[in-house]
């Protein structure tokens, strides 16, 4: 597995290769490795980037605290036969100009609500870094987790808007046995909180099981009630949405529906979603 820190070396090494790209912020877990496995299973020369992107954190404390374990990350990537790891510095990434307008995109209504509303500036930061990293790596295929479902929609939209012609692949969410979606932020949960955190997935599954029998208003009210029972929880949003437009389905029962949820357990913000219909 080759490790590189610079764009020039990277581009020399990638010449003539069919590249599958997996951007990450490190602190890897089995969910990240699923993205690498998906790329490798298609016979692609697989490049993983590890870059904790300062511009996508609306909360500077979240950025400062973001877990870093480089040795462990590299060992995990070796174990799934990753071909190359790009670990650029902030100066390397933003050498082209942090404020350059061509990296600033307006994703319209798909980025406005949910994560867009609760993390101001987040998708602008995501668009900027993914765009820059795509220019570095120039992949034919790029892999993103369905765990960050709105991010996946934003990346697809950017790919269309800029006519990048990259195949964007969404990879299903890897979960713990308890149903909790794997996340680097789970490292901050205590044993007790890890048990409590299953409420998120249980709520999504309950919404799916009751989608045809109950009204959407009843489903939303019931889920909200589960989170007020316990003071350690604070529900940021739960909604039933159209997965393409990222608009709430309101009172309707269309055929393609996704439930999206974000909630804080103590100081840890948890995010999940599930196909409901
Ligand atoms: P991050 O390092 O959190 O920015 O995540 C890097 C990539 O891994 C993103 O495309 C995420 O959506 C994806 N990812 C994170 N958690 C999971 C998971 N539990 N299952 C599948 N993909 C995931």
Q: What is the mean pLDDT of residues 233-256?
A: 97
Strands 19-24 and 45-50 turn out to be parallel
Q: What is the mean pLDDT of residues 163-181?
A: 98
More confident residue, 102 or 252: 252
* pLDDT of res. 140: 98
20-55 pLDDT, tens per residue? 999 999 999 999 999 999 999 999 999 999 999 887
More confident residue, 261 or 54: 261
Distance 147 CA to ligand 1 centre (A): 6
**pTM (predicted TM-score):** 0.96
Ligand 1 pocket test: pick from 145, 182, 201, 260 the residue with the most ligand atoms within 8 Å of its Cβ: 145
List Cβ neighbours of 179 (8 Å cut-off, separation of 6 or more). Answer: 198, 201, 202, 205
Position 126 pLDDT exceeds 80: yes
* pLDDT of res. 104: 87
68-89 pLDDT, tens per residue? 999 999 999 999 999 999 999 9
User: Can you list the domains of the chain with their CATH numbers?
Assistant: 2-171 (3.40.50.620), 184-275 (3.30.1300.10)
Does the annotation count 122 as an active-site position? Answer: no
Nearest to 137 by CA among 44, 59, 68: 44
Three state DSSP letters for the chain: CEEECCHHHHHHHHCCCCEEEEEECCCCCHHHHHHHHHHHHCCCEEEEEECCCHHHCCCHHHHHHCCCCHHHHHHHHHHCCCCEEECCCHHHHHHHCCCCHHHCCCCHHHHCCCHHHHCCCHHHHHHHHHHHHHHHHCCCEEEEEHHHHHHHHHHHHHHHHCCCCCEEEEECCCECCCCCECCHHHHHCCHHHHHHCHHHHHHHHHHHHHCCCCCHHHHHHHHHHHHHCCCCEEEEEEEEECCCCCCECCCCCCCCCEEEEEEEECCEEEEEEEECC
Q: Point out the catalytic residue in the list 32, 105, 118, 122.
A: 32
* pLDDT of res. 59: 83
Position 100 pLDDT exceeds 80: no
Q: Which atom of ligand 1 is nearest to the CA of 183?
A: 16
Distance 25 CA to ligand 1 centre (A): 9
Please, what is the average pLDDT of the chain? 95
Residue 97: pLDDT band by 50, 70, 90 thresholds?
A: low
* pLDDT of res. 98: 57
Distance 56 CA to ligand 1 centre (A): 15
* pLDDT of res. 58: 80
Q: What is the mean pLDDT of residues 182-209?
A: 97
């Amino acid at each position: 597995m080759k490790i590189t820190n610079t764009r020039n070396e990277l581009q020399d090494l990638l010449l003539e290769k069919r590249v599958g790209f997996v951007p990450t912020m490190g602190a890897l877990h089995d969910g990240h490795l699923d993205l690498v496995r998906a790329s490798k299973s298609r016979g692609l020369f697989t490049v993983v980037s590890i870059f904790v992107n300062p511009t996508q954190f609306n909360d500077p404390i979240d950025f400062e605290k973001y877990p870093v374990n480089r040795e462990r990350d590299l060992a995990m990537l070796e174990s799934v036969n990753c071909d190359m790891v790009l670990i650029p510095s902030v100066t390397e990434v933003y050498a082209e100009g942090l404020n350059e307008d061509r990296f600033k995109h307006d994703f319209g209504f798909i980025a406005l609500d949910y994560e867009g509303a609760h993390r101001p500036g987040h998708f602008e930061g995501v668009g900027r870094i993914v765009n820059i990293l795509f220019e570095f790596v120039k992949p034919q295929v790029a892999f993103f987790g369905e765990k960050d479902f709105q991010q996946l929609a934003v990346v697809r939209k950017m790919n269309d808007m800029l006519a990048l012609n990259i195949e964007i692949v969404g990879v299903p969410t890897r979960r713990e046995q308890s149903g909790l979606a794997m996340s680097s932020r789970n490292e901050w949960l205590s044993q007790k909180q890890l048990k409590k955190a299953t409420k998120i997935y249980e709520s999504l599954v309950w919404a799916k099981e009751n989608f045809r029998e109950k009204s959407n208003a009843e489903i939303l009210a019931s889920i909200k009630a589960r989170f007020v029972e316990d003071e350690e929880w604070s529900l940021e949003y739960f909604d039933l949405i159209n997965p393409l437009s990222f608009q709430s389905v309101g009172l309707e029962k269309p055929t393609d529906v996704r439930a999206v949820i974000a909630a804080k357990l103590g100081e840890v913000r948890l995010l999940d979603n599930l196909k409901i219909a």
